[in-house]
Amino acid sequence: MRTAMRVAQAALLGSGVLLLVLGAIIWTGNGDQLIGVHVLFGLVLVLSLWTITAISARSGVSAGTVALAAAWGALVIVMGLAQEALVPGTWHWTIQVLHVAISMGAIWWGRRLGQLIRRAQPAGTTAPPSRPPIVSPSLNSAKK
Weakest-pLDDT range from 61-70, 88-97, 107-116? 88-97
Report domain 2-124's class: mainly alpha
- pTM score: 0.79
Interval 42-88: pLDDT, tens:
999 999 999 999 999 999 999 999 999 999 999 999 999 998 888 88
**Cβ(2)–Cβ(121) under 8 Å?**
no
The 3 state secondary structure assigned to 99-143 is: HHHHHHHHHHHHHHHHHHHHHHCCCCCCCCCCCCCCCCHHHHHHH
Q: Residue 39 pLDDT > 60, yes or no? A: yes
What is the Cα–Cα distance from 12 to 107, expressed in whole angstroms? 7
Predicted confidence at residue 112, as pLDDT, reads 96
